[in-house]
A and B are shown apart, each in its own frame.
Chain A
Amino acid sequence: EDQVTQSPEALRLQEGESSSLNCSYTVSGLRGLFWYRQDPGKGPEFLFTLYSAGEEKEKERLKATLTKKESFLHITAPKPEDSATYLCAVQASEMKTSYDKVIFGPGTSLSVIP
């Protein structure tokens, strides 16, 4: 069964304490893996796209990496304003139909304490 899981469910960090969030996926025909940030009551904000294993992308304190089975979002020296829910999603081709499938993970809620 196609699935996207994220761990941990919630993470609490002290300001400046680096850590990583995990996104594991089991899909075939991966077209891309995407990371988003979502603040409460707002729409997700696009962060990164990763297309193939070994690819890395960076933006300020965030770095996303991709392997064949999972992706990591590394947060270096986080600040309180990095507090949000981080979502990953995969887009994959569907063998039986002409449609792509899109699956979001449940998210990791990150709190950064000053």
Chain B
Amino acid sequence: DSGVTQTPKHLITATGQRVTLRCSPRSGDLSVYWYQQSLDQGLQFLIQYYNGEERAKGNILERFSAQQFPDLHSELNLSSLELGDSALYFCASSVGLALDEQFFGPGTRLTVL
């Protein structure tokens, strides 16, 4: 157990819908990262927040947004969902700004029908 929690574990929804994925980092970690992993794309970095502020951005679609709250938990919002958004979404956390000692959560499996 990495200490990073993600909810829900599974999510099935329809095209055009909006969903919110939630992540609670390990105690003491200030950085939260979001990743998307699909079979054909591998692990894609989406976005990083550090102590509430956006710090790094990857190939995150405009339909996707994230935020980190004062209690350091984070939410990833996915809207106007398409079939291609079906993937495993991982959250990770670390103490500082760098990727080292990054701990991943168990992931949320999103299926868009």
Contact = CB atoms under 8 A, between A and B. Distances in A.
Contacts of A34: 99-100, 102
A99 B60 CA distance: 13
Given A100-B56, A101-B56, A44 B99 contact: no
Nearest to B107: A43
A103 interface: yes
Interface residues of B, number: 26
B56 A46 contact: no
Report, as a range, how many residues of chain A touch the other chain: 20 to 34
Contacts of B55: 99-100
A31 B98 CA distance: 8
B70 interface: no
Interface stretch (B39-47, B61-69, B78-86): B39-47
B106 A46 contact: no
Interface in B79-113: 90, 92, 97-107
B98 A91 contact: yes
Interface string B29-51: 00001000000001111001000
A87 B90 CA distance: 15
B8 interface: no
A9 to B, nearest CB: 11
Contact of B101 (A41, A42, A46): A46
B2 interface: yes
Interface in A65-96: 87, 89, 91
A92 to B, nearest CB: 10
B106 A89 contact: no
A52 to B, nearest CB: 13
B101 to A, nearest CB: 6
Contact of A49 (B43, B98, B106): B98
